[in-house]
Structure 1
Amino acid sequence: MHDFAVPLSMQGHVHLRVTWSPMGTPSPSSAGRPAGGTTGHLPASTMTMRHAKVEASPAVREAFAQFDRNNSGRLDYRELRNGLRTLGLDVTTEGAASVLASYDDDNSGLMELDEFARLCQQLGYVEARPVGTTPISTSRQPWRPGGASRDWPPPDRRADAVRSTPDVASAIRNADPERLNEKGVLSVHLKRGIGLKAADLNGKSDPYVIVSSGSHEKKSRVVKKTLDPEWNEMLEFEGSLKDFLSHGLLLKVMDKDTFTKDDPLGDVQVSLEPLRSTDTHDFLESLPTKGSVKFTVSWKPVAEQLLSRGTLHVHLSHATNLKAADRNGLSDPYVKLSLKGQQHKSKTIKKTLDPKWDEGFEFKGVLRELISEPLQIDAFDYDFGKSDDKLGNASVDLSVLKSTRMHDFAVPLSMQGHVHLRVTWSPMGTPSPSSAGRPAGGTTGHLPASTMTMRHAKVEASPAVREAFAQFDRNNSGRLDYRELRNGLRTLGLDVTTEGAASVLASYDDDNSGLMELDEFARLCQQLGYVEARPVGTTPISTSRQPWRPGGASRDWPPPDRRADAVRSTPDVASAIRNADPERLNEKGVLSVHLKRGIGLKAADLNGKSDPYVIVSSGSHEKKSRVVKKTLDPEWNEMLEFEGSLKDFLSHGLLLKVMDKDTFTKDDPLGDVQVSLEPLRSTDTHDFLESLPTKGSVKFTVSWKPVAEQLLSRGTLHVHLSHATNLKAADRNGLSDPYVKLS
């Protein structure tokens, strides 16, 4: 339930109360007030205290610091759920999310200390008071579930429920001060406009949006003849978080006109300050003219190498066992290489099925953009006086360059044979590879060259490795994110930047989860020489800890007085596994499929093109993308959302059927692909680049966002229209005869 005093665009305010009644629950009374007086999972008295500033008592601070497992200074819904359970409250995951939403006044998706203090006050669990009032008591007031007369939690559990107040300051110190300097990608998911101004004679508009932050600017697509456009488009900007925060985000909504200047429909400037503490924030912003715009902004740090400009060198070495296209049982092969609109053609090698080209080609641009789609290879047999015969094609996924500057490929062609090539990345200002296509320095990211031979070797973690891993794993998830890895490596004396840590993580992240597993950490330790680690199945080199010595120092590192802080006992690893979130599978929420683009699709129409769209389904859920006309490389850039439980989505996986739209005949299939959603067990987002069985590939990202159960329930939204004040006078008598339309 919420009360609104809504300013009208001309003059005055309309006052109303909005109440949600899930199916099967009592409707609000005729006065618009809920029959039971409850708000979510909270007491009715919460409504009067919801926005009152509350000062946290020492006991509240202690409990908050204990619940705050990742020392972020804020609680997410899982931390709140687990914490409330230690107080004897039987709270579900969705219930905790609903409670958090009830007190999340800044819509950050996280609970601040003062918000937690208000919750404690309403529950009566610990003493908390509105700022400026006299304390009710300086002692802890335990909440007693079910009217029990005994104190709760029991005395033997209280020591585990809180920790000393100074730890709160420690949690603040352990917040991430380098977040502002991160380089990465700011994504603006432009969802929809609602009730926009009519700018055309037909009473409609053709709206689009110009989104900018500082010098960055991008334009959305135009949606024709509507006042409620559904853009559902993702616009991405590369830069540093600090710069984006300093400029904020400006959205200019425009009406597209063919023969005259486009009309402004209103603009809105928003602050990006929420991104200081959370990676995603939702906006619903009113325009000064009429209507509103709904969008989501998210931040994703990216290894610095991916944002660098430079040259992608492709050394075309040779091919083996190609198809024979000529009567002599041989071919005259050559190859075309295509990437991001750039194309190169090799020389022709006469009369062979095993040509040796030994040729180099260059593609210039930003690494992240270049590797966002595959390198296309088309092989041909040269024929004099007639069209050349095709020998096959292939797509090469270049995402491996996220973690290494050089990689060798043996690429199978669609018809027969293999093409062998080496791909090398040279950032601007660094030496190009030699004529043989080999990097001059032979390095791989931030890691020793020897790493290449160990990258995929399964390594058994020694007890010392497990100890260090458990200490680095601050949130007890059983995996390290790039910040935990960065902070941990610094305790070992390594001067690692945020982007450097992200790059190191990517170098060992074989499952592309964005997190470092224990065995991946063991391989990193082995290459750094910091602690003993060995490939599975081999004899241990040593059972003792082998400290890494930075800069050739002869003394042990870290110093003896720091080692106690660098590791913790091995049993904590098992504890970390126990503390992982077992209820994730039962979460209800939204599965978002960001359908990005198709690459090199099959031609289904006589014009050599297709009109592709995609049907995306998971179990009984199904949605269809928009159609992109006359292309083999469609840019859908569309977000499709499905509501349900993570467990159900994992059991069904995701099916994408790519189709060609036809007007008078049945739509033609261009290929389909079924993918597993298992990565969502451990991460909220996963990128896919999937080849189709016919031709080409599809690029998309799948993400999971839990939602309070209430938000997914069916029911009735009750609007109690109370009164209006100070309306505009429309009649000669200086009054009006007002009525209201709600839609």
Structure 2
Amino acid sequence: MADTIFGSGTGPWVCPNDRQLALRAKLQTGWSVHTFQTEKQRKMQALSPQELEVILEVIRKAEKLDVVEQQRIGRLVERLENMRKNAMGNGLSQCLLCSELLGLLGSTSVFCQDCKKKVCTKCGIETFGAQKRPLWLCKICSEQREVWKRSGAWFYKGLPKYITPLKSSSRAGEVPSQPWQSEAAVLEAGTALGTLDFSLLYDQENNALHCTINKAKGLKPMDHNGLADPYVKLHLLPGASKANKLRTKTLRNTLNPTWNETLTYYGITDEDMIRKTLRISVCDEDKFRHNEFIGETRIPLKKLKPNQTKNFSICLEKQLPVSGRASSPRLGAFPPQIDKTEDKSLEERGRILISLKYSSQKQGLLVGIIRCAHLAAMDANGYSDPYVKTYLKPDEDKKSKHKTAVKKKTLNPEFNEEFCYEIKHGDLAKKTLEVTVWDYDIGKSNDFIGGVVLGINAKGERLKHWFDCLKNKDKKIERWHTLTNELPGAVLSD
């Protein structure tokens, strides 16, 4: 007689045959091995605490892996949502993304295959369809396809569960009950952005601020491959000019970049060290989209001591919230105390480093135009094409004009040119040196950027520089001077 199996899959039991039943009756052990067990047998089947801990550890690891995956998908979704929020056009007469005018009087437009909106060629991506036919997608739809591919949504026919950065709620609106989900969100807001190692040195004698960017660690992944293309950007605050911005080279496909690169601000005064702040931003370079912000830190320059290198290792912070749209995308991100002085910085025309030396051998005044710093931008591209002119006045014969070469598209030009004015040392006290900086334009008048006048009628550092030159023959004396927006008399653009 064959055994018969009864019960569900969770608790099956076997009905023994007659021979087994007879034997069990004699032994008085019951008719089923599953229903009659001694207390000792039941205790022997219980798991030990070590075994339970191993099982719980496996479960915890699996849950943490799920959270990491949900956070990865959440970052993809957040990036896509940010692109949608930043879309500025109507997709008809304007580019959907950048709002650039389209049509005969504007840029060339292309038609997005997915959203059926118009974009300019800069905001569109050309790809191929299923039948290898070329088609255009806007960057938003291209990003949406990428999200579906990398999140597995194409397989699940919808986005799987995800956790957006700084939020513990999931796509379905559920509040996670696990405490480690909120801890992960806190981690995302802090050290998950990475750390930056750098050093600062204020060279008081040469009026230079040297910023050495060493390396970064554990940067936030920004690209689809889980890596980033980071670079570091420096910005002196307050100041809205591109002349205040410096940047390192870009390192590809890394979250732990090592730059070992020194960036230098020239023409920095003691006053700047008291009132200015250095903003250091780490960004991800994107060839096809706008560069993305990773994290930043800000160092008040008054913390530095002259001629002493100070090393920093700082956790990057999130960008301060931007209030409203401004002409500059970062204008609203500055603290209130910086905004109050912004107007004063916008009036600055820049600075120039001039050397003076009376040469006994050449019987003349040697005027060196070394470099300029933080010049005002005069062109539409945010830069200038600067050059410098010098006059030694009074100049009855109008032969004292000298001019440097033009430096293209820069606000921090380096000239290193020297001019000689043949003049007796005793006559210098009656002369005035006019130095003007201009922006070179083709087809129209050159724009005046700023100027400075050195002579016995000058004041402050300008007078001191001229007096030191007269007093110290055959000694080169270099000084930085602030350019003013007042055009010296009788100086015209050429």
Judge same fold: TM > 0.5, yes or no.
no
Query: Which protein is bigger by CA-based radius of gyration?
Result: 2
The structure showing larger relative contact order (alpha-carbon pairs under 8 Å, at least 6 residues apart) is: 1
